[in-house]
Amino acid sequence: MPRRTLLALTALVLALHWLVLHGIPLAWEGPTTPAGKVFSTRSVAAPPPAAALPPPSQASPAATPAAALQAAKPRPAPPKRSPAQKAPTPSGQPPEPVDATLVTDTAADGPAAAEPAANAEAELWAGGANAPGTPASAAAPDMAAPAASTPQPAASAPPAQASAEGSGVDITPPGGQPGDGASTAAPPVRLPAPVKLAFDVAGQAKKFDYQARAELVWQHDGARYEARQEISAFLVGSRTQRSTGMVTPQGLQPERFGDRNRSERAAHFDYTRGRVTFSANTPEAAVGPGAQDRLSVFIQLAGLLAATPERFVPGTQLTLTTVSATSADRWTFTVEAPETLTLPAGTLPTLKLQRLPRRDYDQKAELWLAPSMGYLPVRIKITQANGDFADLRLRASGPP
């Protein structure tokens, strides 16, 4: 073998040894150990001192040499707890996900996307809702969904608080408190006609401004309904939410709520047991009459206001159970003063509803409902606790 080739091979072998000894991962290796760390140590409990053993004169007959050796063996160190087994934070509640459901969250579940645009869409849909996430390819926006959090026990899910007649909806006049029994019967509902609404979306996520498009398609035949909302951004992807169920005299009765980004999570309603289960393996929650999901809630609010608009004067509060793809909560909306909005679709008189945060990590939701469109929302604005927001404004409407 030529001497030059031998020297080159020797240098290559030495270089590989140097890389391994310094802990630098190679291109085909995963991120196993931190740079510069090759060896690791572990602690082994020392055996108890000899004084801890009873003197021979006091040892019981059963204390054989084998038993003494067994007692002297060091105890194994307790196993480390995985992050999922850690105790909940002192607050007792995980951050609420951002909810794209208000826009389609409280924050899409999972790690934040590396790209600003992806984070923007995730915040929009979170929602988490959570809310009201995360955008498609990098955590689609979910206005009411939070980042991945430790699952809470089933007892932490607020039970559905139905009114005296089992409507599940509390309508409190100005000056009252939600849940004080002001509602004594199921309120009438007049559902809007089928329609497709197109929105322009402007928002901010982590100081990054973004633009997107959203579409809400609402259809029903008097017996069953389907609502679908999709939001998409250039180079980011899309997030789709879909609610299906029955039309009843009390309005919508959801059976399934799906939230699809890169994969789909869903909530399934079981009214016989009074529970809702989740495909995300989070604890099931209690639901009762009048419960809605984070998409059907907009249609149900429209139907309530359209049936008896004179009842909803400024200061009136509506409280109902709202379900995301991972949890359930009681949402309270307060009727604000009428406003006339100038939107891409034109100038429209509206009635504003607002959901204020109940906890530090809750999101703020503002809805503007147009009487001329069956009180469907023509503007939706979701603001997160950190100042990030998503603002949907009606661009056009037409048949579904």
pLDDT digit string, tens, across residues 143-161? 333 333 334 443 333 333 3
Domain match, 109 and 236 both: no
Domain match, 126 and 181 both: no
**Which residue shows structure tokens 């040894």?**
17
Domain match, 101 and 172 both: no
pLDDT band of 234, cuts 50, 70, 90 = confident
Q: Which of 37-46, 104-113, 332-341, 383-392 has the highest mean pLDDT?
A: 332-341
Q: Which of 51-65, 91-105, 240-254 has the highest mean pLDDT?
A: 240-254
Q: Say if 85 falls within a structural domain.
A: no
Does the pTM surpass 0.85? The reply is no
Per DSSP, the residues of 99-162 read EHHHH-----SSSPPSSHHHHHHHHHH----------HHHH---EEEPSS-PPPPGGGSPPP--
CATH number of the domain encompassing residue 392: 2.40.360
Q: Say if 20 falls within a structural domain.
A: no
Q: Say if 354 falls within a structural domain.
A: yes
Q: For position 165, what pLDDT does the model report?
A: 42
Domain match, 237 and 315 both: yes
Mean pLDDT, residues 373-393: 95
Q: What is the largest CA-CA distance in the chain?
A: 99
Q: For position 15, what pLDDT does the model report?
A: 55
Domain match, 109 and 210 both: no
Element (H or E) spanning 20, and its range? helix 3-21
Domain match, 176 and 144 both: no
What is the distance between the alpha carbons of residues 143 and 124, in angstroms, rounded to a whole number?
A: 5
Parallel, antiparallel, or unpaired: how do β-strands 292-293 and 317-323 relate? parallel
Range of the domain at 393: 162-398
Domain match, 142 and 169 both: no
Q: Say if 268 falls within a structural domain.
A: yes
Q: For position 264, what pLDDT does the model report?
A: 94
Domain match, 235 and 296 both: yes
Q: Say if 72 falls within a structural domain.
A: no
Domain count, the chain: 2
Q: For position 4, what pLDDT does the model report?
A: 76
Per-residue pLDDT tens over the stretch 280-322: 889 999 998 899 999 999 999 999 999 999 999 999 999 999 9
Tokens matching residue 132: 């009201």
Domain match, 118 and 216 both: no
Q: Which of 28-37, 170-179, 255-264 has the highest mean pLDDT?
A: 255-264
What is the distance between the alpha carbons of residues 304 and 327, in angstroms, rounded to a whole number?
A: 24
